[in-house]
Structures are given as C-alpha cells and as structure tokens.
Amino acid sequence: MPRFGRDRNRIHADETHALSHPLRLRILELFARDRDRSLSVAALTADLAKTPDFEHVKEGEVNYHRACLLDVNLLPAE
C-alpha cells in the first residue's frame, strides 16, 4: 500500500539515516559478506574488534547500531 501525506517519504528517510553511521555500514558489510553469519551483538562485536578503526567498539554501541538497522529492515530479525 502506498504511503500518503507526511509519511510518504519516511521509509527512504529512515533508511538514509540508518546508513549515515560508519559502524552501521560496517555491520552491513559483514552481513553482506556472509548472510548466514550470526547477527548477535557478541558475534558482531568480536568481528568488528578485528577491523581497523573499530578495535575498541563496545557491545552497547553495537547493540544500538544493530537495532537501528533492524528497525528499518536492513537486517533480518533473528
């Protein structure tokens, strides 16, 4: 069903906002490389910690950014 009124562009705007953070982009890259991988916060944090510029990422940060991607359906719900 098409959107009408003020919310008609909301999906696009939400996706654009979700893609505006480098950590979210890196999470999507990890998922794109291996779609069968675990998307748990612990697994993502461990893999991100091995990535240059993300060595000191914390689980709380990963949880927040993963939730942003889930909210706009850019990652599948586990």
Report pLDDT digits (tens) over 28-72.
Answer: 999 999 999 999 999 999 999 999 999 999 999 999 999 999 988
DSSP 26-64: HHHHHHHH-TTS---HHHHHHHHTTSTT-TT--HHHHHH
Under DSSP, is residue 22 helix (H, G, I), strand (E, B) or coil? helix
Residue 17: the pLDDT is 74
Long-range contacts of 11-20 (CB under 8 A, 24+ apart): 11/72, 14/71, 14/72, 15/72, 15/74, 17/68, 18/68, 18/69, 18/71, 18/72, 18/74, 19/74
Every domain of the chain and the residues it spans: 5-71
- pLDDT tens for residues 58-67? 999 999 999 9
Q: Record the pTM.
A: 0.79
